Structure 1
Amino acid sequence: MTDELVVLVDREGNATGIAPKASIHGTDTPLHLAFSSYVFDSAGRVLLSRRAAHKLTWPDAWTNSCCGHPLPGEPLDGAVTRRLSYELGLDVERVDLMLPAFSYRAVMENGIVEHELCPVYRVVVAADAVPNPDEVGEVEWMPWHEFAEGVVSGRLPISPWCREQVPLLLELGDDPLAWAPADPAALPPAARP
């Protein structure tokens, strides 16, 4: 497989170029386009994943269902569907944009930085995940309220981006299956279809 390319962006979300994914994650990671997704079943449980132990950023960390990078020119909802199939063997029923302008910067203890403009999606599925060991160490379904309370209280160890996203998702309402999707026009320019 050839090295994945990522879309570099400025602070306003405009594309400024592309770069190989393997070359950008370091101590001075440039802002780049990504996505984050929360997979739910019909009971409102959220699928958590533990990142594979060999990942460069946050190895073995528990996080939300799936994160990734769109390929240059790829619609974000298409990237979500592609990565969920590859990482978790999931067929997606529905992909909804929730937080169109989420962005974060986090630094690991070893100095490696993650710096992403990272719209957040809700995904609904009807089947169990089949994790790809190249990407995911293990998965667990958890009731949304239990998960969210654990993240907000700090009791649940979770990735830094997920820790920032959950309070914003809670502002959308108590029932994750009833959250009103965001307008795709609110996506950053580099992420708009």
Structure 2
Amino acid sequence: MTTTQTSTITAENILRLFPQVNTTLIGAARNTTSSDNDLEGYDEEQIRLMDEVCIVLDEDDMPIGSASKKICHLMENIDKGLLHRAFSVFLFDFQNRLLLQQRASEKITFPDMWTNTCCSHPLGIPGETGVGLDASVQGVRRAAQRKLDHELGIQASQVPLEKFDFLTRIHYKSASDGKWGEHEIDYILFIRANVNLSVNPNEVQDTRYVSQSELKEMFEDKSLKFTPWFKLICQGMLFEWWDHLDSGLEKYTGEKEIRRML
């Protein structure tokens, strides 16, 4: 699944193509999407979230600036090379079951699809923006804590920052429909915790804890749809990592190379 990026995504090229990118990462001004024709007919709360500022990257995961979630998720921009930072959390209970979520129908991208516990973006705000791998990992840990609370009602005290294991980064691109999609360098985080859920129905319509065999059975069910990044991670890496939850996971953590899965 690993390929070489065919076109170079550099700060110079991105800033030339996208004058909307603000090179001030933190506190960048942004236009509201509340009266945006591209978002007409979508859920009001999901439209509001499109104002959040994602971290725009070059192909080596170096921040260039920030741009709204809407700008970063339009396929017309993605196809020109616009790339942003993301994370995917895999939360396991102490029976080694993985917590899955089914995305809400209100979601603008990839609605109704099953995926890993939580998938989102660190923002261009204090504490979540990092330059260099160590600082970036700490930023996505803070973002993961924030979004686990927002989507699933998991309190930060149940998922301490130091309990998140960073495994690797994947660079992938996928269309949701003709208008929206993802183009991300996605930080993969594992955490083992027993948590209490208070699901936000605007984000998540269902949750399920699964064993490895149960997840494989779900993949065989043609009535279920899965997010593309989740399928990529499952096909390439997840089950091997899962086998080492109790011992040996450390040999898979802290990978410095970016896995290109384009």
The TM-score, its normalising length taken from structure 1, stands at 0.85
Paired position in structure 2 for 1:162: 230
C-alpha displacement of 1:146? 2.6
The answer on 1:11 being equivalent to 2:59 is: yes
The answer on 1:95 being equivalent to 2:195 is: no
- Contact kept, 8 Å, 2:72 with 2:83, in 1: the verdict is no
| Closer, same or farther: CA 176–150 of 1 in aligned 2, 3 Å | farther
C-alpha displacement of 1:130? 1.6
Paired position in structure 1 for 2:131: none
2:116 to 57, 60, 64: 64
- The residue type equivalent to 1:183 in the other structure is G
Task: Specify the SS of the correspondent of 2:243.
Answer: coil
Q: How does 1:1-193 map to 2 (within 5 A)?
A: 3-27=51-75, 28-29=77-78, 30-72=82-124, 73-74=127-128, 75-90=139-154, 91-93=158-160, 94-99=163-168, 101-148=169-216, 150-151=218-219, 157-166=225-234, 167-172=236-241, 174-178=243-247, 179-180=249-250, 182-183=253-254, 186=256
- Contact kept, 8 Å, 1:39 with 1:65, in 2: the verdict is yes
2 CA distance for matches of 1:149 and 1:168? Answer: 18
- The residue type equivalent to 1:172 in the other structure is W
Aligned length: 185
Decide which moves more: 18-27 or 63-72: 18-27
- The residue type equivalent to 1:25 in the other structure is H
| Closer, same or farther: CA 142–108 of 1 in aligned 2, 3 Å | same
- The residue type equivalent to 1:50 in the other structure is Q
Bigger radius of gyration: 2
**Structure 1: gaps of 5 or more residues:** 189-193
Q: Which has the higher strand share?
A: 1
Task: Specify the SS of the correspondent of 1:176.
Answer: coil
Decide which moves more: 78-87 or 167-176: 167-176
Greater relative contact order (Cα < 8 A, sep 6+): 1
Q: Which has the higher helix share?
A: 2
Q: What value does the CA root-mean-square deviation take over the aligned residues?
A: 2.3
Indicate the percent of aligned positions where both proteins have the same amino acid.
Answer: 31
